Structure 1
Amino acid sequence: MATRAKTLKKKAAPARKAAPVKKAAPTTTGALTLPTLHESTTSSGLKVLAAERGPLPLVAMRLVIRAGSATDPADKHGLADFTARLLRRGTARMSADELDEAIEFVGASFSVGSNEDILSLFITTPAEYFPDMLSILGQLVREPSFPEREVEQSRERTLAGFSNDLDDPSVIADRAFTRALWGKHPYGHDVGGSTAHVRTFTRDDLVRFHRERMGPRVSLLTVVGAVSPQRVAEEAEKAFAGWEGGPEAPVELASGDTVATGRVIVVDKPDQTQSQVRIGGPGYRLGHPDYFPATAMNIALGGGFTSRLVNEVRVERGLTYGIHSYFDAMSAGGVFGISTFTKTETTREIIDVSLAEVAKVRQGGIPAGELKKAQRYLAGLYPLRTETNESVAAVISDIRVHGLGDDWVEKFRERLLAVKPKQTVEVAAKYLFSKSPLIVVLGRADAIGKQLKGLGPVTVVPASEYE
């Protein structure tokens, strides 16, 4: 279980001049170039990264807080995501309508997102309004008001959404897969929570989560665009001075190397004519050295449009319109999984064919010619991640938050293209179901139960359990 950090209760630090800006070495690689990073820290302890980048007069800001769903209280699953979405609904100085008007009036855009490890706030604005929008970003995290009416309305909308989810078999299958894989680990619930938990949310819960989990010492502000690093440091000091709360360091999660294997979960949904199928087992954590060989291997296996799984399951046998394999890496662990769907009658066939293709790669890796195609495919896509200020801000913050190393972009294609066939054999042996995988099937239990004999102990659960 996660180690709960102590809440800090101290007086607000007095405002002071922005800390000196430190310049980091520029990172470049052929056609890929990231602007020079400049680092500073506000009086409240918020780390700031600034990267001046033109020629367009736009600025992108990303504030990352290490308070994702893995930090949800045990009886309040979904609280991190819920709190993040309510930040926009009012501050001590501005109502929700005033916030909307201020952002839209200058042609800026705002969004918020969350996952298991972090929650993020994005603002993109014309450069001339950068100070105003950064000030609003500061208000959102320093002094959200969480109006009671907004909390009630958001709770009702969220609960209605859960009810609607029951009509989407793919969503329910994913939710069941996550629970079965991770069990009681902090990763073992949907980021958005569940009906049983969200129904209990109160304004006090949001206020407490904000105070205990969202603070400057577990946050990182990244600013990319047409603004000088010195000005970024100065305006960040103004916007975030006095921000208090949150832990001294990110919550340390238990190792995620205990992902479930060898079980079969049937999610019973009697009205279905198709089966949603999920197959999975242990993967690797973010920043793991196996990333490059495993990624190259997976592109060939099931991560690309011309992969083995797509060819064998969709093209050759016509069992589905879509199938893919993937690695889902998080700070404390990860998963290797396969996601697909098929007619009820061919449920066992699609599982057997998929597992057979996985077994071929586990036994022999990826041959040199096939590997080279996969490497070139991914190397060609990667530059798209550095085209806009928003994408650059996202890449930079991910590199720092997850400890990927400042040369991640610079060396990405070099490291990817350096992967050899023997390395794909090694990672395949590690991650491609060396133990019997976990299998989750959503569909008609009475029609698919008999098909699943021999795959492992079978448990049948009604779909309503995943609302």
Structure 2
Amino acid sequence: MKTVGSIFSGLKVVMHKLQSLNSSIVNRQSSILKLAVIAVILLLGCTQVWAIEARREVRPNGLVLLHAEKNNLPIVKVTLLIKASPSDEPPEKAGLANLVAELLPEGTKTRTSEQISEEIEFIGGDLGASVDRDYTAITLSVLKKDIEEGFKLLSDILLNPVFPEDEIRREKDLIKGSLKQSEEDPEFVAEREFRKAVYGPHPYGRLIEGSPDTIDAISREDLLWFYRAFYRPNNAILSIVGDISYKEVAGLLRGYLSGWQAGGIPRVDIPPIPELKEKVVVTVDRSLTQANILLGHLGIKRSNPDYYAVSVMNYILGGGGFASRLMNRIRDDMGLAYDVYSTFDTDKDRGVFEVGVQTKNEAAKTVIDVVIEEIKRIQKEPVSDEELRDAKAYLTGSFPRRLDTMGKIASFLTLTEFYQLGIDYDKLYPGYIKLVTKEDVQRVAAKYLDPEKYVLVVVADLKKAGFQQ
């Protein structure tokens, strides 16, 4: 799950379906389609059914509990965020945080991996764990009638994992096999090289899964140490959303998590993120008909007060699909790419600003020049009233789609707590966006975009792309 600033998945699907149309049709209808989408979004945003009424409390063991009762469907969604991430693992054992999470459902003191899988499938539920750059998330989805059984399973994999040696070997092989397969994907290779060049030795610069060598270096003792050190209630946020009362939630916590004890959390020294001093070009030669290009640099933290102005600016530059300047120039006007985007990924520490595009090898340098031109233009020229209005309408009107399922609400609550945005953030966000002015857009473009010092990654047939003599 990425940040609460990510473009929601529903409209991303719509945009990709639109992009599958013949480009000439898209060009003639893009203005009509854009207005239609914004109109639908605004209609959705007129109702307040998405507003969250949540309760927050800190339990005696330090666990932060967030609860929202929603009775429209007999479903309960649970998200447990643990502040355990790749930033907490030794670099020579990269992938440790991920391996711990992957192995949680693979055997406990009372259940084998097969038994856990069979029991959650029997009740038609879903139970799993995943790792982001800043945290680990354990999620549960069950019908209301099965919440007791589902929560019992969640508490078991949380409190009683045993990390069996045979499962460790199997999971390591699966991860290494997946990494090897990913090497055939030029987008994966480009993203890996981009983050490595931007972040250097910082944990954000390495793969969450680690590398084959670092994965092999992880022992069962390492897994137990990481689990015991960071999987503590005073290092966690629990959100429970759905057809369940606070009284029922309190009963579940007493029955299944009362033995989860607080403990000291180790302090981990993280190397600073280096600042770019000059343009860095990374090239990877592959026999490809399309050049995969990433261009960007360090971005902002999620806690940065300019986050909202940056969101509007990025929408206009390249985050707004057919409404963005990069799409209009590179796809619509020049016909040099099927898709082009820009994004600001925001994390606990500084995220990245990234422009991504695929184009034919021979057009690579032309496209790169246009990207730089558009970055300079949004820094030097005020955006139009129409661009500002459309960006703000989209960002505020689409916001309810981030909260249109119980699972999204559960995730949203944990992240707003994690980033310390406040329990009423769902009500405040639209106002933050509406306050952004044209002057704000130009100011943050000048402050957070750098058309001189950036990382450029090109995965292509380098000779045809003009990067090799």
> Which residue does 2:313 correspond to in 1?
297
Structure 1 residue ranges without an equivalent (≥5): 1-27, 453-467
8 Å CA contact retained: 2:92, 2:217:
no
> Which residue does 1:288 correspond to in 2?
304
> Which residue does 1:8 correspond to in 2?
none
8 Å CA contact retained: 2:190, 2:294:
yes
Residue of 129, 147, 157 corresponding to 1:140: 157
> Which residue does 2:224 correspond to in 1?
207
1:286 counterpart SS class:
coil
Residue of 268, 292, 313 corresponding to 1:276: 292
Residue of 240, 246, 256 corresponding to 1:239: 256
8 Å CA contact retained: 1:262, 1:437:
yes
Query: Equivalents in 1 of 2:131, 2:276: separation in Å?
Result: 22
Residue of 109, 119, 133 corresponding to 1:116: 133
CA separation of 1:238 and 1:282: change in aligned 2, threshold 3 A: same
Mapping for residues 435-450 of structure 1, pairs under 5 Å: 435-448=452-465, 450=467
Query: Equivalents in 2 of 1:222, 1:244: separation in Å?
Result: 18
CA displacement at 1:72 relative to structure 2: 2.1
Partner amino acid for 1:344? N
Does the alignment pair 1:364 with 2:385?
A: no
> Which residue does 2:424 correspond to in 1?
407
8 Å CA contact retained: 2:78, 2:410:
yes
1:333 counterpart SS class:
coil
8 Å CA contact retained: 1:180, 1:260:
no
Partner amino acid for 1:211? R
Residue of 74, 81, 92 corresponding to 2:109: 92
Residue of 325, 328, 333 corresponding to 2:342: 325
Query: Equivalents in 2 of 1:40, 1:415: separation in Å?
Result: 26
Residue of 62, 73, 81 corresponding to 1:64: 81
Does the alignment pair 1:198 with 2:220?
A: no
Partner amino acid for 1:276? N
Query: Equivalents in 2 of 1:90, 1:29: separation in Å?
Result: 47
1:318 counterpart SS class:
coil
Residue of 407, 413, 419 corresponding to 1:390: 407
1:84 counterpart SS class:
helix
RMSD across aligned positions (CA): 2.2
CA separation of 1:135 and 1:116: change in aligned 2, threshold 3 A: same
> Which residue does 2:31 correspond to in 1?
none
Partner amino acid for 2:442? V
> Which residue does 1:77 correspond to in 2?
94
Structure 2 residue ranges without an equivalent (≥5): 1-44
> Sequence identity of aligned pairs in percent?
29
Count, aligned residues: 424
CA displacement at 1:77 relative to structure 2: 1.1
CA displacement at 1:338 relative to structure 2: 0.4
8 Å CA contact retained: 1:181, 1:261:
no
Query: Equivalents in 1 of 2:370, 2:189: separation in Å?
Result: 24
1:287 counterpart SS class:
coil
Give the alignment's TM-score, normalised by structure 1: 0.86
Mapping for residues 40-59 of structure 1, pairs under 5 Å: 40-59=57-76
Query: Equivalents in 1 of 2:333, 2:180: separation in Å?
Result: 37
Partner amino acid for 1:160? G
Does the alignment pair 1:429 with 2:441?
A: no
2:93 counterpart SS class:
coil
Partner amino acid for 1:226? D
8 Å CA contact retained: 1:218, 1:247:
no
Does the alignment pair 1:178 with 2:195?
A: yes
1:65-107 CA distance string (max 9 Å, x none): 0112222211011111121111111111111111111111111
Partner amino acid for 2:140? I
